């Protein structure tokens, strides 16, 4: 099973699969389907693989996240474990500086429990993670880099969701400061043409993979998300 075969039409955007053990940034403004895209990718992949995945939600409760997925017709695999960190936020308020270590250990413990069969994770979202840490920007990024390098060595394919404050639009080539952390950047956005708005997906970069650089339409169907060629 390939990651690019998990969402109808995504295999037309990619000629080759998303490389295993990559760190992939899924970025976009509010309402661009970042959580749905990442969850469907993981859930459908794991349904066809003898592997497990961990979806970490730092803002929504597990129940609200599942309701959101259900509303979009996205299948929930029994091989996906959802770790709800909202309880941690209530308990601790402002997290200690070692939150990244706590998060890393949570992930590595889950991999051990699955007998090493946990192969992919989603962290939703970086913005929520940053808001819980009271350290300087440079130190934060150093710690993030070290944590992600651990995940690469553990052969974990990692998807990091990052919400932008505004929609960048198709003609904006910026990727944000977090781009240096990632092997790949998947941009989800909104394109306005007159009174019509379309969600789109564009692959900014994906190391060791062949892919289109053009925007493709991303839409919600009765059975989850779909990707298809559109005119922009």
The predicted pLDDT at position 137 comes to: 84
Amino acid 212: pLDDT: 97
User: How many Å apart are CA 24 and CA 42, to the nearest integer?
Assistant: 13
Q: What is the DSSP string of 66-102?
A: HHHHHHTT----TTEEEEETHHHHHHHSSPPTTHHHH
Angle of helix 62-71 versus helix 34-47 axis, rounded to 10: 90
Position 154 scores a pLDDT of 98
Q: pLDDT per residue over 165-208, tens digit each?
A: 765 556 555 555 688 889 999 999 999 988 889 999 999 999 99
Report the pLDDT value the prediction gives residue 230, as an integer from 0 to 100: 85
Residue 223's pLDDT is 95
Question: Can you tell me the distance from the alpha carbon of 16 to that of 22, in angstroms, rounded to the nearest whole number?
Answer: 14
What values do phi and psi take at 139, rounded to 5?
A: -65, -40
All domains in the chain, ordered by first residue: 20-187 (3.40.50.300)
Structure tokens at 187: 């941009």
Handedness of CA 125, 128, 132, 134 (dihedral sign): positive
What is the DSSP code string of 13-57? HBSSPPPTT-EEEEEE-TTS-HHHHHHHHHHHHHHTSS-EEEEEE
- Provide the mean pLDDT of the chain: 91
Q: Which H or E run contains 157?
A: strand 157-163
pLDDT over 90 (residue 231): no
Measured between alpha carbons, how far is 112 from 115 in angstroms, rounded to an integer? Answer: 5
17-31 pLDDT, tens digit each: 999 999 999 999 999
| pLDDT tens, residue by residue, 2-20 | 999 999 999 999 999 999 9
pLDDT digits (tens, 9 = 90+) for 26-69: 999 999 999 999 999 999 999 999 999 999 999 899 999 999 99
Q: pTM for the complete prediction?
A: 0.93
DSSP 183: S
Burial 3-20 (b: 16+ CB within 10 A, else e): bbebbebbbebbeebbee
For the residues 128-146, what does the mean pLDDT come to? 87
Task: Calculate mean pLDDT across residues 75-81.
Answer: 97
pLDDT, residue 174, reads 53
């Amino acid at each position: 099973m390939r990651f690019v075969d998990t969402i109808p039409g995504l295999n037309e955007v990619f000629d080759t699969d998303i490389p295993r053990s990559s760190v992939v940034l899924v970025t976009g403004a509010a309402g661009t389907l970042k959580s749905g895209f990442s969850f469907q990718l993981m859930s459908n992949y794991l349904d066809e693989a003898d592997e497990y995945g961990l979806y970490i939600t730092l803002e929504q409760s597990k129940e609200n996240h599942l309701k959101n997925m259900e509303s979009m017709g996205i299948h929930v695999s029994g091989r996906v474990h959802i770790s709800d960190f909202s309880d941690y936020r209530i308990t601790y308020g402002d997290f200690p500086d070692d939150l990244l270590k706590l998060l890393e250990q949570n992930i590595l413990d889950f991999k051990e429990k699955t007998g090493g069969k946990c192969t992919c994770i989603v962290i939703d979202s970086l913005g929520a993670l940053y808001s819980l840490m009271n350290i300087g920007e440079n130190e934060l990024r150093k710690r993030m880099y070290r944590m992600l390098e651990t995940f690469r060595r553990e052969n974990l394919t990692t998807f990091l969701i990052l919400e932008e404050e505004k929609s960048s639009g198709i003609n904006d080539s910026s990727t944000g400061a977090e781009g240096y952390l990632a092997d790949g950047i998947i941009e989800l956005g909104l394109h306005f043409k007159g009174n019509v708005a379309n969600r789109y997906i564009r692959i900014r970069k994906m190391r060791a993979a062949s892919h289109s650089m053009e925007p493709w339409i991303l839409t919600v169907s009765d059975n989850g998300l779909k990707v298809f060629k559109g005119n922009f």
